[in-house]
Amino acid sequence: PQGSEKAKTFVHAFLKRSMPKMKDEAIQDMLTRKAVVLEHYPKKKTKQKRKKTKGFTAKQRRELRLFEIEPEQQRYAIFLPLHELWKQYIRDLCHGLKPDAQPHMIQGKLLKADLHGAIVTVTKSKCPSYVGITGIILQEFKHVFKIITKEDKLKVVPKLNNVFSLELDGFISYIYGSKFLLRASERSAKKFKLKGTIDL
């Protein structure tokens, strides 16, 4: 149609005036091959923030007495099956505790293992009244162990300034509580360094 030819002539003349240095072939090539891209801006989707489920605060846990063991449940015999489960768990973790196993490898695994159910004995302490306490660990906190003794007494023993021993299948391991001031969940991810001498 005549109108389209006029439009082409106008556009060609306009480009020639606007870009005098460009050759006619380049202008023609741009007109025939250049694609026009129309930009599209999609609407940004607003992300809905997930509400974090808030747990109980430390104060609320204390008020609800979530970690307290009832007096009628403070009996050594009740927790002996837990100790048997713990022994099997450690044997599986250490691949059977074979006689030819390297002690430092077993020690490294015990440092990160869950100790709930282990029978421990306080072998050294800056407070003489703690020495000799033996029982099953019922709860482990950052600073203390809660231990049930054979006399059905619940003892709260601080980790600081105490050395604990635990024995399994003839293998005796010593835990220096001062270097053990961690929660069980934090301890599993911590890298322990070997030290020649450790003070209480």
Rg, the chain, Cα only: 37
Residues 6 or more apart in contact with residue 8 via CB below 8 angstroms: 31
Q: How confident is the model at residue 147 (pLDDT cuts 50, 70, 90)?
A: very high
Look at residue 110 and tell me whether its pLDDT is greater than 80. yes
Q: What share of the chain is helix, strand, coil (3-state, %, to 5)?
A: 40, 20, 45
- The token pair at 8 is 């082409």
Say if pTM beats, i.e. exceeds, 0.75. Answer: no
Q: 71-187: which CATH topology?
A: SH3 type barrels. (2.30.30)
pLDDT digit string, tens, across residues 153-187: 999 999 999 999 998 888 888 988 888 888 887 87
pLDDT at 100: 73
- The token pair at 160 is 């600081």
Most confident of 34-43, 53-62, 88-97: 88-97
CA distance 69 to 64: 12
Domain ranges of the chain: 1-30, 71-187
CA distance 131 to 157: 10
